[in-house]
Amino acid sequence: MLAQTLARASGIADAFIALHGDLGAGKTTLVRHLLRALGVEGRIKSPTYAVVEPHEAVQLDGSRLNMFHFDFYRFSDPREWEDAGFRDIFAGPGLKLAEWPEQAAAYLPTADLDVTLHVQEERRLVTLRANTERGADLLQGLSA
């Protein structure tokens, strides 16, 4: 439900959303639902070994949306930031979703939206924090 609402929010196309939470908290699952809601078809691979998995989908208005799913869990080589083009991705258009942003905190820009997931016995708790105007717009959409 969070994924579906986020997918419809204005400003989602170029947003940077950081996902926090322990292993198993549900970060990848939320990203998959969001990508699915944005029109990504087929199997959605987890980027754990590649650090980033790019996706593309055509929106209802016919425009193309680029999406980048990062998992910085194994990110450790600062050169990769430049060499793999991560800097360019974050400077360019498209939706950026990042698991384990703490691992690349020195390089990443401020996230528009921080999503923190906690497992609480049978339930999951989601905390959202907007850090930018775009992030505030995303939150606005969620509470509307």
Query: Among residues 58 and 126, whose Cβ is nearest to ligand ADP?
Result: 126
Burial, 23: exposed, middle or buried (Cβ in 10 Å; 0-12, 13-18, 19+)? exposed
Choose the one of ligand ADP, Mg ion, none that binds residue 103, judging by a C-beta under 5 to 8 angstroms depending on kind.
Answer: none
27 binds ligand ADP (CB under 6 A): yes
27 binds Mg ion (CB under 5 A): yes
103 binds Mg ion (CB under 5 A): no
Residue of 6, 11, 28, 30 that binds Mg ion (CB under 5 A): 28
33 binds ligand ADP (CB under 6 A): no
**Pairwise CA distance, residues 137 & 11, whole Å:** 7
| Range in contact with ligand ADP (rule: CB under 6 A) among 24-32, 52-60, 89-97, 127-135 | 24-32
**Pairwise CA distance, residues 98 & 23, whole Å:** 14
CB 23 to Mg ion: min, Å: 7
Bridge partners of residue 65, in order along the sequence = 57
**Pairwise CA distance, residues 99 & 15, whole Å:** 14
In Å, the largest CA–CA distance within the chain is: 43
Host H or E run for residue 6: helix 2-8
| Residue ranges in contact with ligand ADP by CB under 6 A | 21, 23-29, 99, 124
| Residue ranges in contact with Mg ion by CB under 5 A | 27-28, 99
